[in-house]
């Protein structure tokens, strides 16, 4: 799965597009070697200018329309992220205005080209071309705000995270420095991809691992699921909602050693908020850094977790202790999803084979 907006082109301002179209028209007219008398030469030269301006404007605007996906057709994860970052209604209105401009410029081109062809006065022909230029410039200035908005939206949307929406996905949560990145590397046995997105403060870490030819995805979201939800701004809250369409299991990490800088009371409070927010998800709770944590504090966290009906795992992500048991528990929860994904892929491939 690629970022659905990665092919969305840079959007020229209205003035930039006007200047580009007029310069291209003059270049096209200069390259002509028209034959015939003054009238014939004037018709050919001015029609070329009209056609060129129309083509340049419409090609630029149509490229924007063609390379911008319909938000309502995107997977729900990306729909929610778009709603997080831009005003979806304004986004659609601006695209509709651009579409109107394409049609209007085409109609103007046909009308003025026809008038130029039938005019018998070279001065009148030049006047018609100037009228056409003015009408096209008016159309583009009518959508100037829309072009500016779409370019601003494009600069944000091109940085949406690239994740595999079909892979069974584990979302890691817990305070900073409890060992989330270390666990991610340990589970995926690979250096995670790290990318910075406009709704997080420190990017998103993505890794994958395979077990018996089935693939799984693990995501750590620094800046989203590492502090109380009550402290979130609206953009972050929407991004957290989007994660619900992506994740299938939440792996919550406690650090009973408190070396992370957060006392157990704060860690349990964050857990309760995350658990309420993602209550429909299976939770796997791990107690990390047990090799350096005080046994009394470990038991305190275990008692709290068990009271929630969950069975915590003791691990040391840095030393690799307990990871095999964690992997087994993860696979128990998500293997059916991975098998279903593999079945869908096989059915698609068989369908393509039959079609050929």
pLDDT at 201 over 60: no
Q: State the Rg of the chain over Cα.
A: 29
Convert the pLDDT of each residue in 225-266 to its tens digit. Answer: 887 777 777 777 767 777 887 778 899 999 999 999 999 999
Angle, helices 14-30 vs 144-157, to 10°: value is: 110
| pTM score of the predicted model | 0.75
User: What 3-state DSSP class applies to 194?
Assistant: strand
From residue 167, give the alpha-carbon distance in Å to each of 12, 14, 30, 218.
37, 42, 57, 9
Most confident of 159-173, 216-230, 321-335: 321-335
Is residue 356's pLDDT more than 70?
no
d(CA 290, CA 320): 11
Task: Give me the mean pLDDT over the 36-58 stretch.
Answer: 92
pLDDT for 192 equals 62
Q: Which two tokens stand for residue 184?
A: 């991610």
Mean pLDDT for 168-197 is 78
Q: What per-residue confidence (pLDDT) applies to 63?
A: 96
Q: In the predicted model, is pLDDT for residue 82 greater than 70?
A: yes
Residue range 124-182, pLDDT digits in tens: 999 999 999 999 999 999 999 999 999 999 998 888 777 777 778 888 889 988 888 88
**Per-residue pLDDT at 25:** 96
Q: How far is CA 198 from CA 91, 219, 223, 265, in A?
A: 18, 17, 11, 30
165 vs 51: which has the higher pLDDT: 51
Percent of the chain past pLDDT 90, that is, above it, reads 48
SS3 (DSSP) at 209: strand
Q: Is pLDDT at 215 greater than 90 in this prediction?
A: no
Between CA 59 and CA 103 the distance in angstroms is 12
Domains of the chain, CATH where assigned: 14-157 (1.20.120.1190), 169-355 (3.40.50.300)
Cβ contacts of residue 157 below 8 Å, gap of 6+? 3, 5, 8, 82, 85, 86
Helix residue ranges per DSSP H, the chain? 14-30, 38-66, 76-85, 88-118, 122-142, 144-157, 180-188, 234-243, 264-277, 295-307, 323-355
As a whole number of angstroms, the distance between CA 257 and CA 301 comes to: 11
Residues in the chain, how many? 356
Tell whether the model's pLDDT for residue 193 goes beyond 80.
Answer: no
Quote the pLDDT of residue 1.
Answer: 59
Q: How far are the Cα atoms of 42, 92, 112, 128 from residue 37, in angstroms, in the given order?
A: 9, 49, 21, 19
Pairing of strands 249-254, 283-287: parallel
Q: pLDDT tens digits, residue range 261-308?
A: 999 999 999 999 999 888 888 899 999 999 999 999 999 999 999 999
Where is pLDDT greater, at 237 or 106? 106
Tell me the mean pLDDT in the region 9-16: 96
DSSP 257-323: T-TTS--HHHHHHHHHHHHHHTTTS-EEEEE--TTTS-HHHHHHHHHHHHHTT---EE-BTTTTBTH
The pLDDT value recorded for residue 310 is 92
What is the rounded average pLDDT of the residues 215-219? Answer: 82
Q: What is the pLDDT of residue 64?
A: 96
Predicted local confidence at residue 3, as pLDDT: 83
333 Cβ contact list (under 8 Å, min separation 6): 248, 249, 282, 284
CA pair distance 51, 334, nearest whole angstrom: 58
Q: Angle at CA 28, nearest 5°, toward 24 and 29?
A: 120
Angstrom distance (rounded) from CA 260 to CA 250: 20
**pLDDT at 79 exceeding the cut of 70:** yes
Can you give the pLDDT at residue 203?
A: 66
Q: Average per-residue pLDDT in the chain? A: 87
């Amino acid at each position: 799965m690629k970022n659905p907006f990665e092919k969305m082109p840079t959007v020229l301002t209205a003035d930039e597009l006007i200047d580009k179209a007029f310069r291209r028209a003059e270049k096209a007219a200069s390259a002509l070697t028209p034959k015939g008398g003054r009238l014939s030469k004037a018709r050919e030269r001015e029609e070329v200018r009209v056609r060129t301006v129309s083509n340049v404007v419409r090609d630029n605007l149509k490229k924007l329309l063609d390379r911008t996906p319909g938000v309502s057709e995107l997977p729900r994860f990306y729909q929610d992220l778009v709603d997080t970052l831009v005003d979806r209604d304004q986004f659609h209105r601006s695209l509709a205005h651009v579409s109107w401009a394409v049609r209007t410029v085409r109609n103007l081109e046909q009308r003025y080209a026809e008038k130029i062809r039938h005019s018998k006065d070279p001065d009148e022909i030049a006047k018609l071309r100037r009228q056409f230029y003015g009408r096209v410039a008016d159309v583009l200035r009518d959508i100037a705000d829309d072009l500016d908005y779409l370019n601003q939206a494009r600069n944000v949307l091109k940085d949406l995270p690239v994740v595999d929406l079909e892979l069974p996905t584990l979302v890691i949560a817990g305070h900073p420095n409890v060992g989330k990145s270390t666990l991610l590397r340990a589970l995926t046995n690979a250096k995670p991809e790290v990318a910075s997105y406009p709704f997080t403060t420190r990017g998103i870490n993505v890794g994958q691992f395979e077990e018996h030819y089935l693939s799984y995805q693990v995501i750590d979201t620094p800046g989203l699921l590492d502090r109380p939800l009550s402290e979130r701004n609206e953009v972050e809250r929407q991004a957290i909602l989007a994660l619900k369409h992506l994740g299938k299991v939440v792996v919550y990490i406690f650090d009973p050693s408190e070396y992370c800088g957060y006392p157990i009371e704060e860690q349990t409070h964050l857990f309760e908020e995350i658990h309420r927010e993602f209550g429909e998800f299976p939770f796997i709770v791990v107690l990390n850094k047990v090799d350096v944590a005080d046994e009394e504090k470990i038991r305190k966290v275990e008692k709290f977790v068990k009271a929630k009906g969950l069975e915590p795992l003791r691990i040391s992500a840095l030393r690799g202790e307990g990871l095999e048991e964690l992997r087994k528990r993860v696979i128990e929860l998500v293997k059916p999803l991975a098998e279903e994904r593999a079945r869908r892929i096989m059915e698609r491939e068989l369908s393509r084979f039959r079609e050929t």
